[in-house]
Structure 1
Amino acid sequence: MDIAADTTPEQLNATHRALRVAWQAHRPALSQRRDDLVRLRDAFRARIDAMDAAIRADFGHRSEHENRISEAMVTLSAIDDALAHLRAWSRPRRVGTGWRFWPARAQVRPVPLGVVGILSPWNYPVNLALMPLVSAIAAGNHVYLKPSEHTPRTSAWLRELLADVFPADRVAVALGGPAVGEAFAALPFDHLLFTGSTAVGRKVMAAAAPNLTPVTLELGGKAPALVCADYPVEKAAARIATGKWFNAGQTCIGVDYVLIDAARQEAFVAALVGELRARYGALASPRDYTRIINARQYERLDGLVADARARGLAVVEPFGAASPDAEAGLFPPTLVLAPGDDAAVMQEEIFGPILPVLPYGTLDEAIARANVFGRPLALYPFSHDRASVERILSEVPAGGVTVNDTLLHFGVHGLPFGGVGPSGMGMLHGRHGFDTFSKLLPVFHQSRLAASDLLRPPYTGWVDRMIRWLAR
């Protein structure tokens, strides 16, 4: 896959203008949107092998099966969901007016916004680009996509795919680094979506502010798995291992740290080590273990472990003989036991294969500890006790939750996906994504005869009495 040159500022502006002019001249009808989604689905299916090759080349290596699960399966299911519900989502939604306005009618009518901008990240470079694009197209918009510069081959694959499906004035792709991203965010979009880090999210929001561009931010945070004392250690370890080491931990909703009752910490760590060795063998030639995206991220992760060692924390290496290999991007799974809140691994979202394991004494203590680290994009309570789960859900604010497992709420298109506070704002997926990229237009239909015609000055006599009665 050829890596194209960066998009220039002049090209950014010209492409944005072309998208807007085309949308104003011909707003996509429902039939056009459906045809677009069908063509996208067919073209995507035909290019899955090329997608897999591009992603693996960008990462140095990523598990083919992880690519097919997280990129192909998730994206195709989002397209199928939109096709199945597009007509229903697009219908006006009747709203009651209340008896005071009888016999008038009211409705909410989803209408397209115009030109939507999407800034997508490197960690899931296909699904986090195409899933919001599907929602935006379904809602009747034109789309300008700027994928990550850290996955250049996949970005080129995306541009080729979308150019084969859509006219250039309906969907366009910009390529380039941070300077292009900054200029992209400053374009006068009708809506802008950014997926990435909280720090960059602040910059995107600031760039969009002069145009008063509405923004949806999908960020991150330190997502906890909280294992209650009643939940089996082995099953918790297996499901948390999936939520942590899928994509080598480079997942915005991945498990960032574990809270486990102190009496079972040792057993939990042993179960995790067993899971990792069963999944990845000796880690000598790990076909199913994804690499770290680039040297900068690798060095950052290495620094987190170095800080833990310098503090005298217990560091468990399930593959002790498999030392980190920076050149190959291979960073082995690593556990850090009982770090304090001041440790580097607890100061930032880890976004890699390092897992802090924090013991707690009581559920009160565990909930208080989870709330120290802000409002994460995801929360994973593990308990068969309904009261304990309900308490965690009510006392630990988070963007989304999977109970007794990890990650899976992301794949349920009927559930809204989005953060809260520092983990983001706005909602995506399914109808929620469709609504995000629509203007939900309120429409009031007055009847031929209306009592309001009589409620006008002079406010005397029966008019006065009627108003006082209505406002009682």
Structure 2
Amino acid sequence: MGSAQEQAIRLAVETARTCFNRGSTIPIAGRRKNLAALLREIENSQADIYRALKQDLNKSRAEAYMSEISLVKAEIKHLRRRLPWLALPRPKLPALSQLPGCLQVRREPYGVVLVMSPWNYPFQLTMEPIAAAIAGGNTVVVKPSAYTPHTSAVIEKILRRALPPGMASVIHGGRAENTALLEQRFDHIFFTGSPAVGRVVMEAASRHLTPVTLELGGKSPCFVDRTANIEKTARRILFGKLLNAGQTCVSIDYVYVHEDVRAQLIAALQAGISRALPSEHYRKSSFVKIISPKHFSRLSGLLAEQTLLGPDGEGLVEDFLDPQTQQIKPVIVDNLSWDSPLMAEEIFGPILPVLPFTDLETTLVAYEEREHPLALYIFTKDRRFARQVMGKVNAGGVCINDTLLHMSSSKAPFGGVGNSGMGNYHGDWSFKAMTREQTVLRKSWLFDIPVRHHPYGERSLKLLHTLLR
């Protein structure tokens, strides 16, 4: 990275701080106006967003709208509607020592927020935290992924047209730019990505004692009980696994299925893949590609020496790879163990390992030592089964009898725990993530309680025991 880019990064941060210090981001009416302008510009740029997501990820218009654009629009509408209430100071009952006086808790902006977003949902996972930062009264410096340059360019155009100068700046580039940004002082950092990079971000933030929100990932498990409706289970598992070609932080990473229904589930999954991708033309035109040759190579390597099942039965590794389109065809991996390379890291692709279990309690013992996943999926008609799994697997969120949809509402928070994240957002929680609680006490001039002032003596102690017991 050259000195010109370093200078551009410093200038972006300084401009954002100057904009915040002017106080123009604070009035609620102004924040709502900016959110409305952002929503309007997104709607005006929808054709450009479709085109960019197609170029970067091969996303179809339907998938782009469902998994990216619609969610951003819903989040902005929610924040704009709820903002006057969310920003309202909350009165609290004063303690005896604070009387006579009025006590309240206010939500104050952090100041300059750094948003570092990933490539897998480059529009949604960039615009949602930007909207939250604006709703919170902050200014933003945005670092989108270098893997999705077309979407990043559209985002920059939207922000430039919708928002006042200095309120939101976009920094393009790769690792060198990430490192240079993390050397700057921010008031809050919102990062979405892998746990490994999340540790780097947190370490860098600690140098300035900067608070962070980390939305990470991990190996999200799925448990299928023998009481589940297997046909619907397979269909809903495939919805979660095939969306974005499995490149989703809350995608099912592997399935534990009761041995009694294992063969039935695998057959239903094979049939479901055939229905989901009915032709080569459809796959090439509408199935998301693997983001880069490096990731394609990594996933290809994970398939080596595994039992691979497609819609037509067992196949070889090359049967599931299309280097020309950079796509991996959905593949089920059977007869593997936890020693397999597939189970050592988050897969992040359309590869679905299936493992059998017979004794649930024995299977769950291992989760006392494993890292906490971002999501937990359970398919069952038995509530005791669901409670038993939830009692042992401490996940960021839980979805029973479906996949992904637990995180699709602005009326509930989304976030991880431990290795899968820190903090949460969506809806009201997005506003809370981008603001801090400030206690304000307004004392009356009427009188003081004399006992709190020097000099202290035995009489003071007796009165304090009486007043503050």
Matches of 1:248 and 1:119, distance apart in 2: 22
| Aligned with 2:438 (options 436, 441, 444) | 441
| 1:235–1:102 distance in 2 versus 1, CA, 3 Å | farther
Asked if 2 retains the 8 angstrom alpha-carbon contact of 1:186 and 1:211, the reply is no
Matches of 2:8 and 2:323, distance apart in 1: 37
| Aligned with 2:310 (options 297, 306, 317) | 317
Q: Give the aligned residue type for 1:396.
A: V
Q: Is it true that 1:402 corresponds to 2:365 in the alignment?
A: no
Asked if 2 retains the 8 angstrom alpha-carbon contact of 1:75 and 1:127, the reply is yes
What do residues 229-252 of structure 1 show as CA deviations (whole Å, max 9, x unaligned)?
Answer: 322211211111111111100000
- Deviation at residue 292 of structure 1 after TM alignment: 0.9
| 1:96–1:363 distance in 2 versus 1, CA, 3 Å | farther
| 1:6–1:47 distance in 2 versus 1, CA, 3 Å | farther
| Aligned with 1:271 (options 255, 268, 271) | 268
Moved more, 387-396 or 456-465: 456-465
Asked if 2 retains the 8 angstrom alpha-carbon contact of 1:182 and 1:204, the reply is no
Q: Over aligned residues, Cα RMSD in angstroms?
A: 2.1
Asked if 2 retains the 8 angstrom alpha-carbon contact of 1:244 and 1:353, the reply is yes
- Deviation at residue 402 of structure 1 after TM alignment: 1.6
Moved more, 122-131 or 392-401: 392-401
| Aligned with 2:153 (options 156, 161, 165) | 156
Other-structure match for 2:331 = 334
| 1:394–1:323 distance in 2 versus 1, CA, 3 Å | closer
Other-structure match for 1:290 = 288
Matches of 2:102 and 2:200, distance apart in 1: 43
Q: Give the aligned residue type for 2:336.
A: P
Secondary structure of the residue aligned to 2:377 is strand
Secondary structure of the residue aligned to 2:332 is strand
Matches of 2:161 and 2:130, distance apart in 1: 15
Asked if 1 retains the 8 angstrom alpha-carbon contact of 2:374 and 2:415, the reply is yes
Q: Give the aligned residue type for 1:87.
A: P
Unaligned 5+ residue runs, structure 1? none
Q: Is it true that 1:250 corresponds to 2:250 in the alignment?
A: no
Asked if 2 retains the 8 angstrom alpha-carbon contact of 1:104 and 1:444, the reply is yes
Q: Give the aligned residue type for 2:133.
A: A
| 1:366–1:382 distance in 2 versus 1, CA, 3 Å | farther
What do residues 196-217 of structure 1 show as CA deviations (whole Å, max 9, x unaligned)?
Answer: 1111112222222222221111
Other-structure match for 2:299 = 301
Matches of 1:452 and 1:332, distance apart in 2: 75
Q: Give the aligned residue type for 2:33.
A: D
- Deviation at residue 318 of structure 1 after TM alignment: 2.2
Asked if 2 retains the 8 angstrom alpha-carbon contact of 1:142 and 1:170, the reply is yes
Secondary structure of the residue aligned to 2:425 is coil
| 1:186–1:412 distance in 2 versus 1, CA, 3 Å | same
| Aligned with 2:87 (options 78, 86, 90) | 90
Q: Within 5 Å, which residues of 2 pair with 1:323-362?
A: 323-362=320-359
Q: Give TM-score, length-normalised by structure 1.
A: 0.93
Q: Is it true that 1:393 corresponds to 2:386 in the alignment?
A: no
Secondary structure of the residue aligned to 1:402 is strand
Matches of 2:456 and 2:381, distance apart in 1: 64
What do residues 438-469 of structure 1 show as CA deviations (whole Å, max 9, x unaligned)?
Answer: 12111223344567443344544553223224
Other-structure match for 1:8 = 5
Asked if 1 retains the 8 angstrom alpha-carbon contact of 2:307 and 2:334, the reply is yes
- Deviation at residue 404 of structure 1 after TM alignment: 1.6
Secondary structure of the residue aligned to 2:8 is helix
Other-structure match for 1:66 = 63
Other-structure match for 2:143 = 146
- Deviation at residue 157 of structure 1 after TM alignment: 0.9
| 1:381–1:404 distance in 2 versus 1, CA, 3 Å | same
Q: Within 5 Å, which residues of 2 pair with 1:8-157?
A: 8-28=5-25, 29-59=27-57, 61-98=58-95, 101-157=98-154
| 1:428–1:453 distance in 2 versus 1, CA, 3 Å | farther
Other-structure match for 2:360 = 363
Matches of 1:149 and 1:435, distance apart in 2: 29
Matches of 1:82 and 1:323, distance apart in 2: 43
Other-structure match for 1:465 = 462
Asked if 2 retains the 8 angstrom alpha-carbon contact of 1:224 and 1:380, the reply is yes
Sequence identity percentage? 36
Q: Is it true that 1:201 corresponds to 2:174 in the alignment?
A: no
What do residues 114-159 of structure 1 show as CA deviations (whole Å, max 9, x unaligned)?
Answer: 1111010000000100000010000101111010000011111111
| Aligned with 1:170 (options 167, 170, 178) | 167
Matches of 2:84 and 2:267, distance apart in 1: 51
Asked if 1 retains the 8 angstrom alpha-carbon contact of 2:320 and 2:330, the reply is no
Matches of 2:4 and 2:426, distance apart in 1: 29
- Deviation at residue 405 of structure 1 after TM alignment: 1.0
Secondary structure of the residue aligned to 1:107 is strand
Matches of 2:3 and 2:152, distance apart in 1: 11
| 1:184–1:7 distance in 2 versus 1, CA, 3 Å | farther
Matches of 2:106 and 2:115, distance apart in 1: 24
Q: Give the aligned residue type for 1:424.
A: G
